[in-house]
Amino acid sequence: MPKDHLRQEILDIFKRAVFLDIAAYLISVIVLGATLSFALGLLLGTAVLLATLLLLKISVERMAADAKRSGVTSQRRYLLFYAMRLGVFAVAFGAAVILRKYISPVAVAVPMLYPRLIYTLGAVFQRTGKAGQKRGEK
């Protein structure tokens, strides 16, 4: 997988995450009222999402280099990067719990669901678009 492809994928997720942050905040305004703590939580959660995606990018590149060099990937390296990504989220979530008066812990966790939403909705809309094209072509 080319390095540019991974960087572009992270950039695409970031663009969609900004849109989803706005949507999540607007929904929270309806449910909770306008709160700065929820907005700050979404910002922190999105920053954590990007940090974990960058760590994932680094781990994928290193594992690909290992596989190219020796033919095998290091399971230890994979587990190390997985623990690092989990640690980044745990630190941010822990900080939000401690500072819950200023940062909503729930809002910190919401952006961690964005990649699932982005890829699922992308697949649904892509499939719908392809089906529409097939019907129109004849």
pLDDT given at position 88 = 93
Cα separation of 97 and 108, whole Å?
Answer: 10
- The most distant pair of C-alpha atoms in the chain lies apart, rounded to whole Å, by 61
Mean pLDDT of the chain: 83
pLDDT given at position 44 = 93
pLDDT given at position 135 = 44
Q: Is the pTM of this model over 0.85?
A: no
Cα separation of 106 and 100, whole Å?
Answer: 10
